[in-house]
Structure 1
Amino acid sequence: MPAPTPETTASGLATGTRTVLVASDLDRTLIYSSGALALGMPDPQAPRLLCVEVHEAKPLSYLTERAAEELRALAAETVFVPTTTRTRKQYQRIRLPGTAPAYAICANGGHILVDGVSDPDWQAEVRGRLAEACAPLAEIRAYLTETTDPSWVRKHRVAEDLFAYLVIERDLLPEGWLDRFTAWADERGWTVSLQGRKVYAVPRPLTKSAAMREVARRVGATLTLAAGDSLLDADLLLAADLAWRPGHGELADTELTAPHLAALAERGVAAGEEIIRRFRAAAHEHRHTA
Protein backbone atom coordinates (compact mmCIF):
# COMPACT_ATOMS: atom_id res chain seq x y z
CA MET A 1 0.00 0.00 0.00
CA PRO A 2 1.27 3.51 -0.73
CA ALA A 3 2.40 5.58 2.23
CA PRO A 4 -0.31 7.87 3.58
CA THR A 5 -0.10 11.51 2.63
CA PRO A 6 0.72 13.70 5.65
CA GLU A 7 -2.21 15.77 6.85
CA THR A 8 -1.83 19.53 7.05
CA THR A 9 -2.53 21.15 10.41
CA ALA A 10 -4.03 24.57 11.14
CA SER A 11 -0.48 25.85 11.43
CA GLY A 12 0.21 25.06 7.78
CA LEU A 13 2.80 22.42 8.73
CA ALA A 14 2.44 18.77 7.81
CA THR A 15 1.96 16.15 10.46
CA GLY A 16 4.39 13.27 10.29
CA THR A 17 7.33 15.66 9.82
CA ARG A 18 9.68 16.91 12.54
CA THR A 19 7.24 19.46 13.89
CA VAL A 20 8.34 21.68 16.78
CA LEU A 21 5.71 23.18 19.05
CA VAL A 22 6.69 26.24 21.10
CA ALA A 23 4.37 26.97 24.02
CA SER A 24 5.47 30.18 25.70
CA ASP A 25 4.05 32.29 28.46
CA LEU A 26 3.75 35.96 27.50
CA ASP A 27 3.83 38.45 30.39
CA ARG A 28 7.31 38.77 31.91
CA THR A 29 8.51 35.94 29.68
CA LEU A 30 8.28 37.27 26.12
CA ILE A 31 6.61 40.67 26.63
CA TYR A 32 7.17 43.26 29.35
CA SER A 33 5.46 46.28 30.83
CA SER A 34 7.57 49.39 31.30
CA GLY A 35 8.01 48.55 34.98
CA ALA A 36 9.31 45.06 34.21
CA LEU A 37 11.82 45.87 31.44
CA ALA A 38 14.83 45.84 33.81
CA LEU A 39 16.94 48.11 31.62
CA GLY A 40 20.06 48.20 33.75
CA MET A 41 22.36 49.69 31.15
CA PRO A 42 23.06 53.42 30.49
CA ASP A 43 20.24 55.03 28.53
CA PRO A 44 22.23 55.42 25.27
CA GLN A 45 22.88 51.67 25.31
CA ALA A 46 19.28 50.61 25.92
CA PRO A 47 17.75 48.44 23.19
CA ARG A 48 15.12 49.79 20.84
CA LEU A 49 11.68 48.58 21.90
CA LEU A 50 8.57 47.59 19.98
CA CYS A 51 5.18 48.11 21.61
CA VAL A 52 2.97 45.03 21.16
CA GLU A 53 0.03 45.93 23.40
CA VAL A 54 -2.08 49.05 23.87
CA HIS A 55 -4.71 49.26 26.61
CA GLU A 56 -7.10 52.18 27.06
CA ALA A 57 -5.13 54.16 24.46
CA LYS A 58 -1.84 53.72 26.37
CA PRO A 59 1.18 51.57 25.43
CA LEU A 60 1.43 48.67 27.84
CA SER A 61 3.74 45.82 26.73
CA TYR A 62 7.00 45.68 24.81
CA LEU A 63 9.74 43.46 23.46
CA THR A 64 13.04 44.46 21.89
CA GLU A 65 13.21 45.02 18.15
CA ARG A 66 15.75 42.22 17.93
CA ALA A 67 13.36 39.90 19.78
CA ALA A 68 10.65 40.91 17.33
CA GLU A 69 12.83 39.86 14.40
CA GLU A 70 13.61 36.54 16.07
CA LEU A 71 9.93 35.97 16.88
CA ARG A 72 8.91 36.51 13.25
CA ALA A 73 11.38 33.83 12.21
CA LEU A 74 10.32 31.50 15.03
CA ALA A 75 6.65 31.75 14.02
CA ALA A 76 7.59 30.78 10.45
CA GLU A 77 9.71 27.82 11.55
CA THR A 78 7.57 26.24 14.30
CA VAL A 79 4.05 25.94 15.63
CA PHE A 80 4.26 28.93 17.96
CA VAL A 81 1.54 28.85 20.63
CA PRO A 82 1.19 31.83 23.00
CA THR A 83 0.26 30.24 26.33
CA THR A 84 -1.16 32.61 28.90
CA THR A 85 -3.25 32.95 32.04
CA ARG A 86 -4.83 36.01 30.41
CA THR A 87 -8.48 35.88 29.41
CA ARG A 88 -9.27 35.80 25.71
CA LYS A 89 -10.14 39.50 25.76
CA GLN A 90 -6.85 40.40 27.42
CA TYR A 91 -4.87 38.20 25.02
CA GLN A 92 -6.51 39.73 21.98
CA ARG A 93 -5.07 43.14 22.86
CA ILE A 94 -1.61 41.80 22.02
CA ARG A 95 -0.22 42.16 18.48
CA LEU A 96 2.86 40.00 18.19
CA PRO A 97 5.24 40.32 15.24
CA GLY A 98 4.95 37.80 12.42
CA THR A 99 2.11 35.65 11.21
CA ALA A 100 -0.82 35.46 13.63
CA PRO A 101 -0.53 32.19 15.59
CA ALA A 102 -2.91 29.49 14.41
CA TYR A 103 -3.21 28.29 18.01
CA ALA A 104 -3.19 30.10 21.35
CA ILE A 105 -3.88 28.93 24.88
CA CYS A 106 -5.75 31.32 27.19
CA ALA A 107 -7.21 31.31 30.70
CA ASN A 108 -4.47 29.00 32.01
CA GLY A 109 -5.51 26.25 29.60
CA GLY A 110 -9.26 26.81 29.76
CA HIS A 111 -9.44 27.89 26.13
CA ILE A 112 -7.59 26.74 23.03
CA LEU A 113 -8.01 29.33 20.29
CA VAL A 114 -7.89 28.07 16.71
CA ASP A 115 -7.47 30.99 14.33
CA GLY A 116 -8.72 33.25 17.11
CA VAL A 117 -11.85 31.24 17.98
CA SER A 118 -12.21 29.13 21.12
CA ASP A 119 -12.49 25.42 20.33
CA PRO A 120 -15.87 24.20 21.67
CA ASP A 121 -14.75 20.58 22.08
CA TRP A 122 -11.87 21.64 24.33
CA GLN A 123 -14.19 23.93 26.29
CA ALA A 124 -16.55 21.02 26.91
CA GLU A 125 -13.69 18.71 27.95
CA VAL A 126 -12.33 21.25 30.42
CA ARG A 127 -15.74 21.92 31.94
CA GLY A 128 -16.28 18.20 32.37
CA ARG A 129 -12.93 17.71 34.12
CA LEU A 130 -13.60 20.59 36.51
CA ALA A 131 -17.11 19.40 37.34
CA GLU A 132 -15.79 15.94 38.21
CA ALA A 133 -12.74 16.94 40.23
CA CYS A 134 -13.36 20.31 41.89
CA ALA A 135 -15.69 22.29 44.06
CA PRO A 136 -17.62 24.89 42.05
CA LEU A 137 -16.21 28.36 41.49
CA ALA A 138 -19.12 29.86 43.46
CA GLU A 139 -17.90 28.10 46.61
CA ILE A 140 -14.42 29.56 46.18
CA ARG A 141 -15.79 33.04 45.60
CA ALA A 142 -17.99 32.81 48.68
CA TYR A 143 -14.97 31.90 50.81
CA LEU A 144 -13.00 34.83 49.43
CA THR A 145 -15.86 37.22 50.09
CA GLU A 146 -16.35 36.00 53.65
CA THR A 147 -12.69 35.90 54.73
CA THR A 148 -11.17 38.99 53.11
CA ASP A 149 -11.30 42.65 53.97
CA PRO A 150 -11.23 45.79 51.79
CA SER A 151 -8.36 47.08 53.92
CA TRP A 152 -6.00 44.72 52.07
CA VAL A 153 -7.97 43.48 49.03
CA ARG A 154 -8.26 45.95 46.19
CA LYS A 155 -10.14 43.82 43.63
CA HIS A 156 -12.00 40.52 43.36
CA ARG A 157 -11.80 39.11 39.85
CA VAL A 158 -13.13 36.06 37.97
CA ALA A 159 -11.49 34.94 34.73
CA GLU A 160 -13.70 33.33 32.07
CA ASP A 161 -15.89 31.76 34.79
CA LEU A 162 -13.01 29.32 35.34
CA PHE A 163 -10.87 30.67 38.18
CA ALA A 164 -10.66 33.55 40.63
CA TYR A 165 -7.99 35.94 41.82
CA LEU A 166 -7.54 38.82 44.21
CA VAL A 167 -5.51 41.97 43.72
CA ILE A 168 -4.08 42.73 47.14
CA GLU A 169 -1.83 45.02 49.13
CA ARG A 170 0.80 42.40 49.82
CA ASP A 171 2.31 44.17 52.82
CA LEU A 172 -1.12 44.13 54.50
CA LEU A 173 -1.89 40.44 53.88
CA PRO A 174 -2.97 39.03 57.27
CA GLU A 175 -0.60 36.49 58.76
CA GLY A 176 -1.83 32.94 58.27
CA TRP A 177 -4.66 33.79 55.85
CA LEU A 178 -2.89 32.44 52.77
CA ASP A 179 -1.99 29.16 54.49
CA ARG A 180 -5.58 28.68 55.70
CA PHE A 181 -7.02 29.42 52.26
CA THR A 182 -4.49 27.12 50.58
CA ALA A 183 -5.38 24.19 52.86
CA TRP A 184 -9.12 24.80 52.51
CA ALA A 185 -8.92 25.05 48.71
CA ASP A 186 -6.69 21.98 48.41
CA GLU A 187 -9.39 19.84 50.02
CA ARG A 188 -11.75 21.03 47.27
CA GLY A 189 -9.46 20.36 44.31
CA TRP A 190 -8.10 23.90 43.88
CA THR A 191 -4.57 25.28 43.99
CA VAL A 192 -3.61 28.65 45.46
CA SER A 193 -0.58 30.77 44.59
CA LEU A 194 0.66 34.23 45.53
CA GLN A 195 2.26 35.99 42.57
CA GLY A 196 3.25 39.61 42.99
CA ARG A 197 0.11 41.46 44.08
CA LYS A 198 -2.28 38.69 43.05
CA VAL A 199 -3.62 35.65 44.87
CA TYR A 200 -4.81 33.04 42.36
CA ALA A 201 -7.26 30.21 43.05
CA VAL A 202 -7.21 27.79 40.11
CA PRO A 203 -8.91 24.38 39.73
CA ARG A 204 -6.24 21.67 39.85
CA PRO A 205 -7.09 20.18 36.42
CA LEU A 206 -6.97 23.62 34.76
CA THR A 207 -3.40 23.69 33.47
CA LYS A 208 -1.38 25.09 30.62
CA SER A 209 0.33 21.72 30.23
CA ALA A 210 -2.92 19.88 29.45
CA ALA A 211 -3.77 22.37 26.73
CA MET A 212 -0.22 22.21 25.34
CA ARG A 213 -0.44 18.42 25.10
CA GLU A 214 -3.73 18.72 23.21
CA VAL A 215 -2.30 21.16 20.67
CA ALA A 216 0.81 18.98 20.35
CA ARG A 217 -1.42 16.00 19.59
CA ARG A 218 -3.34 17.93 16.96
CA VAL A 219 -0.26 19.13 15.10
CA GLY A 220 1.75 15.93 15.50
CA ALA A 221 4.56 17.68 17.37
CA THR A 222 7.78 15.71 17.71
CA LEU A 223 9.35 18.22 20.10
CA THR A 224 7.74 20.59 22.61
CA LEU A 225 9.52 23.69 23.91
CA ALA A 226 8.27 25.96 26.69
CA ALA A 227 9.18 29.01 28.74
CA GLY A 228 7.64 30.83 31.67
CA ASP A 229 8.40 32.81 34.81
CA SER A 230 5.50 32.30 37.23
CA LEU A 231 4.20 29.54 39.48
CA LEU A 232 1.31 28.96 37.07
CA ASP A 233 3.91 28.12 34.40
CA ALA A 234 5.61 25.37 36.40
CA ASP A 235 3.47 22.50 35.06
CA LEU A 236 3.99 23.74 31.49
CA LEU A 237 7.77 23.79 31.81
CA LEU A 238 7.89 20.39 33.48
CA ALA A 239 5.68 18.85 30.77
CA ALA A 240 7.74 20.12 27.81
CA ASP A 241 10.68 18.29 26.26
CA LEU A 242 12.91 21.35 26.76
CA ALA A 243 12.16 24.46 28.78
CA TRP A 244 13.63 27.76 29.96
CA ARG A 245 12.90 30.20 32.76
CA PRO A 246 14.23 33.77 33.02
CA GLY A 247 16.41 35.06 35.84
CA HIS A 248 13.43 36.83 37.42
CA GLY A 249 9.98 35.74 38.62
CA GLU A 250 8.54 33.22 41.06
CA LEU A 251 10.16 30.21 39.35
CA ALA A 252 13.57 31.84 39.73
CA ASP A 253 12.78 32.74 43.35
CA THR A 254 11.76 29.15 44.12
CA GLU A 255 14.66 27.77 42.04
CA LEU A 256 12.52 25.36 40.03
CA THR A 257 14.80 22.75 38.49
CA ALA A 258 14.52 19.75 36.19
CA PRO A 259 17.01 17.96 33.91
CA HIS A 260 15.46 19.49 30.79
CA LEU A 261 14.92 22.98 32.28
CA ALA A 262 17.52 25.72 31.79
CA ALA A 263 17.68 28.67 34.18
CA LEU A 264 18.77 31.80 32.32
CA ALA A 265 20.82 34.58 33.86
CA GLU A 266 19.10 37.30 31.84
CA ARG A 267 16.36 39.34 33.50
CA GLY A 268 13.66 41.59 32.12
CA VAL A 269 13.22 42.22 28.43
CA ALA A 270 16.71 40.84 27.70
CA ALA A 271 15.49 37.48 28.97
CA GLY A 272 12.63 37.52 26.47
CA GLU A 273 15.11 38.04 23.65
CA GLU A 274 17.33 35.21 24.87
CA ILE A 275 14.41 32.82 25.29
CA ILE A 276 13.38 33.27 21.66
CA ARG A 277 16.96 32.65 20.54
CA ARG A 278 17.01 29.43 22.59
CA PHE A 279 13.71 28.34 21.04
CA ARG A 280 15.07 28.84 17.54
CA ALA A 281 18.34 27.05 18.24
CA ALA A 282 16.57 24.03 19.75
CA ALA A 283 14.09 23.87 16.88
CA HIS A 284 16.90 24.08 14.29
CA GLU A 285 18.82 21.28 15.98
CA HIS A 286 15.74 19.07 16.13
CA ARG A 287 14.84 19.55 12.49
CA HIS A 288 18.40 18.75 11.37
CA THR A 289 18.97 15.72 13.60
CA ALA A 290 18.50 12.41 11.83
Structure 2
Amino acid sequence: MTTSANGTGYSEFTVPGSPSVMVACDLDRTIIYSANSMALQCSDSSAPALVVAEVYEGVPLSFMTRAAWDVLERLVREAIFVPVTTRTVQQFRRVNIPGRDKGFAVTTNGAVLLHDGVQDPEWTDLIQDSVQANCAPLHEVQDYVLGATKPSAILRGRVAEDIFVYCIVNRDELSADYLEDASGWCQERGWTISLQGRKLYFVPSPVTKEAALAEIRRRHPVDMLVAAGDSRLDAGILQLADLAIRPAHGELNNSTFHLPNLRVTSSSGIVAGEEILQFAASRIPVWREAVVS
Protein backbone atom coordinates (compact mmCIF):
# COMPACT_ATOMS: atom_id res chain seq x y z
CA MET A 1 0.00 0.00 0.00
CA THR A 2 1.23 3.50 -0.77
CA THR A 3 1.42 5.83 2.20
CA SER A 4 -0.17 9.23 1.55
CA ALA A 5 1.12 12.61 2.70
CA ASN A 6 -0.95 12.36 5.86
CA GLY A 7 0.68 9.05 6.76
CA THR A 8 -2.55 7.06 6.83
CA GLY A 9 -1.99 4.83 3.84
CA TYR A 10 -4.98 6.48 2.12
CA SER A 11 -5.38 9.25 -0.37
CA GLU A 12 -7.91 11.96 0.40
CA PHE A 13 -10.04 13.91 -2.03
CA THR A 14 -13.35 15.70 -2.00
CA VAL A 15 -16.23 13.53 -3.14
CA PRO A 16 -17.49 14.49 -6.60
CA GLY A 17 -20.99 15.86 -6.19
CA SER A 18 -20.59 16.10 -2.40
CA PRO A 19 -22.26 18.91 -0.44
CA SER A 20 -20.73 22.34 -1.09
CA VAL A 21 -19.33 24.33 1.80
CA MET A 22 -18.84 28.10 2.18
CA VAL A 23 -16.52 29.33 4.92
CA ALA A 24 -16.95 32.99 5.91
CA CYS A 25 -14.28 34.35 8.27
CA ASP A 26 -13.71 37.66 9.95
CA LEU A 27 -10.03 38.60 9.74
CA ASP A 28 -8.59 40.64 12.62
CA ARG A 29 -8.42 38.75 15.92
CA THR A 30 -10.22 35.82 14.28
CA ILE A 31 -7.71 34.38 11.81
CA ILE A 32 -5.03 37.11 11.63
CA TYR A 33 -3.38 38.77 14.63
CA SER A 34 -1.16 41.74 15.36
CA ALA A 35 1.86 41.27 17.59
CA ASN A 36 -0.09 42.84 20.46
CA SER A 37 -3.11 40.54 20.08
CA MET A 38 -1.37 37.15 19.71
CA ALA A 39 -1.72 36.34 23.43
CA LEU A 40 0.74 33.45 23.23
CA GLN A 41 0.61 31.41 26.42
CA CYS A 42 3.75 29.35 26.00
CA SER A 43 7.46 29.72 26.37
CA ASP A 44 9.37 31.49 23.63
CA SER A 45 11.10 28.25 22.69
CA SER A 46 7.80 26.45 22.08
CA ALA A 47 5.98 29.27 20.26
CA PRO A 48 4.32 28.21 16.98
CA ALA A 49 5.92 29.07 13.66
CA LEU A 50 4.37 32.25 12.25
CA VAL A 51 3.66 33.58 8.76
CA VAL A 52 3.35 37.28 7.92
CA ALA A 53 -0.21 37.98 6.73
CA GLU A 54 0.01 41.76 6.35
CA VAL A 55 2.72 44.33 5.66
CA TYR A 56 2.17 48.08 6.09
CA GLU A 57 4.79 50.58 4.91
CA GLY A 58 7.36 47.82 4.82
CA VAL A 59 6.69 46.60 8.35
CA PRO A 60 5.06 43.22 9.19
CA LEU A 61 1.76 44.00 10.89
CA SER A 62 -0.42 40.87 11.11
CA PHE A 63 0.36 37.18 11.41
CA MET A 64 -1.03 33.65 11.29
CA THR A 65 0.48 30.45 12.56
CA ARG A 66 2.09 28.35 9.84
CA ALA A 67 -0.41 25.59 10.59
CA ALA A 68 -3.34 28.00 10.15
CA TRP A 69 -1.91 29.21 6.84
CA ASP A 70 -1.63 25.63 5.56
CA VAL A 71 -5.24 24.85 6.55
CA LEU A 72 -6.45 28.04 4.85
CA GLU A 73 -4.72 26.98 1.63
CA ARG A 74 -6.76 23.77 1.75
CA LEU A 75 -9.99 25.66 2.41
CA VAL A 76 -9.40 27.87 -0.61
CA ARG A 77 -8.90 24.78 -2.79
CA GLU A 78 -11.77 22.66 -1.50
CA ALA A 79 -14.41 25.08 -0.21
CA ILE A 80 -15.68 28.57 -0.99
CA PHE A 81 -13.69 30.85 1.29
CA VAL A 82 -15.10 34.35 1.93
CA PRO A 83 -13.09 36.90 3.95
CA VAL A 84 -15.53 39.17 5.83
CA THR A 85 -14.05 42.30 7.38
CA THR A 86 -14.74 45.79 8.69
CA ARG A 87 -11.53 46.90 6.96
CA THR A 88 -11.82 49.28 4.02
CA VAL A 89 -10.91 47.98 0.57
CA GLN A 90 -7.47 49.60 0.83
CA GLN A 91 -6.83 48.06 4.24
CA PHE A 92 -8.08 44.66 3.06
CA ARG A 93 -5.70 44.64 0.10
CA ARG A 94 -2.75 44.84 2.49
CA VAL A 95 -3.75 41.42 3.83
CA ASN A 96 -1.90 38.87 1.72
CA ILE A 97 -3.47 35.51 2.56
CA PRO A 98 -4.57 32.56 0.42
CA GLY A 99 -7.83 33.28 -1.38
CA ARG A 100 -7.77 37.06 -0.95
CA ASP A 101 -8.60 37.82 -4.59
CA LYS A 102 -10.38 34.57 -5.44
CA GLY A 103 -14.18 34.62 -5.49
CA PHE A 104 -16.08 36.89 -3.11
CA ALA A 105 -14.90 39.05 -0.23
CA VAL A 106 -16.84 41.39 2.06
CA THR A 107 -15.16 44.63 3.16
CA THR A 108 -16.14 47.90 4.84
CA ASN A 109 -18.40 45.95 7.23
CA GLY A 110 -20.61 44.84 4.35
CA ALA A 111 -20.82 48.08 2.38
CA VAL A 112 -18.56 46.67 -0.34
CA LEU A 113 -18.64 43.32 -2.14
CA LEU A 114 -15.55 42.29 -4.07
CA HIS A 115 -15.56 39.57 -6.69
CA ASP A 116 -12.12 38.39 -7.80
CA GLY A 117 -10.80 41.65 -6.36
CA VAL A 118 -13.23 43.91 -8.27
CA GLN A 119 -15.91 45.98 -6.51
CA ASP A 120 -19.54 45.11 -7.29
CA PRO A 121 -21.27 48.42 -8.19
CA GLU A 122 -24.78 46.96 -7.95
CA TRP A 123 -24.30 46.09 -4.28
CA THR A 124 -22.67 49.46 -3.54
CA ASP A 125 -25.64 51.32 -5.03
CA LEU A 126 -28.12 49.18 -3.09
CA ILE A 127 -26.38 49.87 0.23
CA GLN A 128 -26.02 53.59 -0.42
CA ASP A 129 -29.73 53.88 -1.27
CA SER A 130 -30.70 52.03 1.93
CA VAL A 131 -28.45 54.20 4.11
CA GLN A 132 -29.79 57.41 2.60
CA ALA A 133 -33.39 56.28 3.15
CA ASN A 134 -33.04 54.97 6.71
CA CYS A 135 -30.14 56.67 8.49
CA ALA A 136 -29.01 60.07 9.68
CA PRO A 137 -26.36 61.52 7.36
CA LEU A 138 -22.72 60.72 7.95
CA HIS A 139 -21.75 64.32 8.74
CA GLU A 140 -24.24 64.42 11.64
CA VAL A 141 -22.70 61.35 13.23
CA GLN A 142 -19.18 62.57 12.53
CA ASP A 143 -19.95 65.87 14.27
CA TYR A 144 -21.43 64.04 17.27
CA VAL A 145 -18.46 61.68 17.60
CA LEU A 146 -15.57 63.99 16.78
CA GLY A 147 -16.98 67.48 17.40
CA ALA A 148 -16.62 69.89 20.30
CA THR A 149 -18.21 67.50 22.81
CA LYS A 150 -15.85 64.63 21.98
CA PRO A 151 -14.66 62.97 25.20
CA SER A 152 -10.93 62.92 25.84
CA ALA A 153 -11.00 59.11 25.72
CA ILE A 154 -11.50 59.34 21.93
CA LEU A 155 -7.97 59.99 20.75
CA ARG A 156 -8.61 60.33 17.03
CA GLY A 157 -11.19 59.36 14.43
CA ARG A 158 -11.56 58.65 10.76
CA VAL A 159 -14.31 58.25 8.17
CA ALA A 160 -14.08 54.96 6.25
CA GLU A 161 -14.96 55.24 2.55
CA ASP A 162 -17.71 57.79 3.28
CA ILE A 163 -19.68 55.02 4.99
CA PHE A 164 -18.92 54.89 8.73
CA VAL A 165 -16.78 56.44 11.49
CA TYR A 166 -14.23 54.66 13.62
CA CYS A 167 -12.11 56.00 16.47
CA ILE A 168 -9.01 55.01 18.38
CA VAL A 169 -9.86 55.20 22.07
CA ASN A 170 -8.27 54.97 25.47
CA ARG A 171 -10.18 52.00 26.91
CA ASP A 172 -9.25 52.89 30.48
CA GLU A 173 -10.85 56.33 30.18
CA LEU A 174 -13.85 55.42 28.00
CA SER A 175 -16.81 55.36 30.36
CA ALA A 176 -19.73 52.96 30.29
CA ASP A 177 -22.05 55.96 30.53
CA TYR A 178 -20.65 57.41 27.30
CA LEU A 179 -21.08 54.11 25.49
CA GLU A 180 -24.67 53.78 26.72
CA ASP A 181 -25.56 57.35 25.73
CA ALA A 182 -23.85 57.03 22.35
CA SER A 183 -25.62 53.75 21.66
CA GLY A 184 -29.02 55.30 22.37
CA TRP A 185 -28.22 58.40 20.30
CA CYS A 186 -27.14 56.25 17.37
CA GLN A 187 -30.10 53.88 17.60
CA GLU A 188 -32.52 56.81 17.26
CA ARG A 189 -30.75 57.79 14.04
CA GLY A 190 -30.42 54.37 12.40
CA TRP A 191 -26.81 53.75 13.43
CA THR A 192 -25.06 51.20 15.66
CA ILE A 193 -21.85 51.22 17.69
CA SER A 194 -19.31 48.51 18.45
CA LEU A 195 -16.18 48.56 20.60
CA GLN A 196 -13.39 46.26 19.43
CA GLY A 197 -10.13 46.50 21.29
CA ARG A 198 -9.04 50.13 20.98
CA LYS A 199 -11.40 50.85 18.09
CA LEU A 200 -14.92 52.22 18.48
CA TYR A 201 -17.10 51.91 15.37
CA PHE A 202 -20.18 53.94 14.41
CA VAL A 203 -21.92 52.19 11.52
CA PRO A 204 -25.24 52.73 9.65
CA SER A 205 -27.68 49.94 10.53
CA PRO A 206 -28.13 48.66 6.92
CA VAL A 207 -24.35 48.18 6.59
CA THR A 208 -23.84 44.70 8.00
CA LYS A 209 -21.60 41.79 7.25
CA GLU A 210 -24.55 39.40 7.36
CA ALA A 211 -26.50 41.28 4.65
CA ALA A 212 -23.51 41.08 2.32
CA LEU A 213 -22.88 37.43 3.15
CA ALA A 214 -26.56 36.57 2.57
CA GLU A 215 -26.28 38.20 -0.87
CA ILE A 216 -23.23 36.08 -1.69
CA ARG A 217 -25.06 32.91 -0.65
CA ARG A 218 -28.07 33.97 -2.75
CA ARG A 219 -25.82 34.32 -5.80
CA HIS A 220 -23.82 31.20 -4.99
CA PRO A 221 -26.05 28.71 -3.13
CA VAL A 222 -24.25 26.17 -0.94
CA ASP A 223 -25.34 23.29 1.24
CA MET A 224 -23.49 24.50 4.33
CA LEU A 225 -22.31 27.89 5.55
CA VAL A 226 -19.63 27.94 8.27
CA ALA A 227 -18.86 31.34 9.84
CA ALA A 228 -16.34 32.67 12.34
CA GLY A 229 -15.89 36.00 14.12
CA ASP A 230 -15.01 37.62 17.43
CA SER A 231 -16.90 40.94 17.64
CA ARG A 232 -20.41 42.28 17.90
CA LEU A 233 -20.19 43.22 14.23
CA ASP A 234 -19.71 39.48 13.50
CA ALA A 235 -22.75 38.31 15.48
CA GLY A 236 -24.99 38.45 12.41
CA ILE A 237 -22.83 36.16 10.28
CA LEU A 238 -22.69 33.66 13.14
CA GLN A 239 -26.49 33.73 13.37
CA LEU A 240 -26.77 33.33 9.59
CA ALA A 241 -24.47 30.30 9.47
CA ASP A 242 -25.41 26.64 9.64
CA LEU A 243 -22.35 26.13 11.85
CA ALA A 244 -20.49 28.88 13.67
CA ILE A 245 -17.37 29.26 15.76
CA ARG A 246 -15.89 32.14 17.74
CA PRO A 247 -12.61 32.51 19.61
CA ALA A 248 -12.44 32.48 23.40
CA HIS A 249 -11.56 36.17 23.41
CA GLY A 250 -12.99 39.44 22.12
CA GLU A 251 -16.24 41.36 22.36
CA LEU A 252 -18.55 38.35 21.91
CA ASN A 253 -16.63 36.33 24.44
CA ASN A 254 -16.82 39.15 26.98
CA SER A 255 -20.62 39.16 26.61
CA THR A 256 -20.78 35.31 26.70
CA PHE A 257 -22.49 35.36 23.29
CA HIS A 258 -23.90 31.94 22.44
CA LEU A 259 -26.06 30.20 19.86
CA PRO A 260 -27.27 26.59 19.51
CA ASN A 261 -25.06 26.15 16.42
CA LEU A 262 -22.02 27.90 17.92
CA ARG A 263 -18.75 26.44 19.13
CA VAL A 264 -16.19 28.36 21.21
CA THR A 265 -12.51 27.59 20.76
CA SER A 266 -10.63 25.94 23.60
CA SER A 267 -7.73 28.36 23.08
CA SER A 268 -7.45 32.13 22.76
CA GLY A 269 -5.21 34.47 20.80
CA ILE A 270 -3.49 33.48 17.57
CA VAL A 271 -3.73 29.76 18.37
CA ALA A 272 -7.54 30.14 18.35
CA GLY A 273 -7.26 31.29 14.73
CA GLU A 274 -5.64 27.97 13.90
CA GLU A 275 -8.40 26.10 15.74
CA ILE A 276 -11.10 28.04 13.87
CA LEU A 277 -9.71 27.14 10.46
CA GLN A 278 -9.24 23.49 11.44
CA PHE A 279 -12.89 23.39 12.56
CA ALA A 280 -14.00 24.81 9.21
CA ALA A 281 -11.81 22.38 7.27
CA SER A 282 -13.32 19.45 9.19
CA ARG A 283 -16.70 20.30 7.62
CA ILE A 284 -15.43 19.59 4.09
CA PRO A 285 -16.71 16.19 2.95
CA VAL A 286 -13.82 13.80 2.25
CA TRP A 287 -13.77 10.25 0.90
CA ARG A 288 -10.77 8.12 1.81
CA GLU A 289 -9.91 5.44 -0.77
CA ALA A 290 -7.23 2.82 -0.37
CA VAL A 291 -4.48 3.06 -2.96
CA VAL A 292 -3.04 -0.29 -3.91
CA SER A 293 0.60 -0.18 -5.04
Please give the TM-score of this superposition, normalised by the length of structure 2: 0.88
Q: Say yes or no: does 1:146 pair with 2:156.
A: no
Task: Say if 1:75 and 1:99, in contact at 8 Å, map to a contact too.
Answer: no
Task: Say if 2:195 and 2:251, in contact at 8 Å, map to a contact too.
Answer: no
CA distance in 2, matches of 1:173, 1:254: 18
**1:49 is aligned with what amino acid?**
L
2:263 counterpart residue number: 262
Residue correspondence of structure 1 range 63-74 to structure 2 within 5 A: 63-74=64-75
2:61 counterpart residue number: 60
2:9 counterpart residue number: none
Q: Say yes or no: does 1:157 pair with 2:158.
A: yes
CA distance in 1, matches of 2:144, 2:81: 38
Size of the aligned set, in residue pairs, is: 271
**1:232 is aligned with what amino acid?**
L
* Structure-2 change in CA distance of 1:176 and 1:99 (3 Å): closer
CA distance in 1, matches of 2:237, 2:213: 8
1:7 counterpart residue number: none
CA distance in 1, matches of 2:185, 2:99: 44
CA distance in 2, matches of 1:94, 1:195: 19
Task: Say if 1:54 and 1:93, in contact at 8 Å, map to a contact too.
Answer: yes
1:246 counterpart residue number: 247
CA distance in 1, matches of 2:45, 2:197: 30
**2:95 is aligned with what amino acid?**
I
1:38 counterpart residue number: 39
Displacement of 1:194 after TM fit? 2.1
1:3 counterpart residue number: none
**2:232 is aligned with what amino acid?**
L
Displacement of 1:161 after TM fit? 0.9
What 5-or-longer segments of structure 1 have no aligned partner?
A: 1-15
Displacement of 1:173 after TM fit? 2.4
Displacement of 1:179 after TM fit? 1.6
Displacement of 1:236 after TM fit? 1.1
Displacement of 1:48 after TM fit? 0.6
RMSD between aligned residues: 1.8
Task: Say if 1:72 and 1:99, in contact at 8 Å, map to a contact too.
Answer: no
Displacement of 1:98 after TM fit? 5.5
CA distance in 1, matches of 2:241, 2:87: 20
Task: Say if 1:67 and 1:272, in contact at 8 Å, map to a contact too.
Answer: yes
Q: Helix, strand or coil: the match of 2:282?
A: helix
Displacement of 1:175 after TM fit? 5.8
CA distance in 2, matches of 1:66, 1:174: 39
**1:147 is aligned with what amino acid?**
T
State the Cα deviation string for residues 100-159 of structure 1 (Å, max 9, x = none): 42111000000010111110000011111111211111110111113204x332111111
Q: Say yes or no: does 1:277 pair with 2:278.
A: yes
**2:205 is aligned with what amino acid?**
R
**2:255 is aligned with what amino acid?**
T
CA distance in 2, matches of 1:90, 1:98: 16
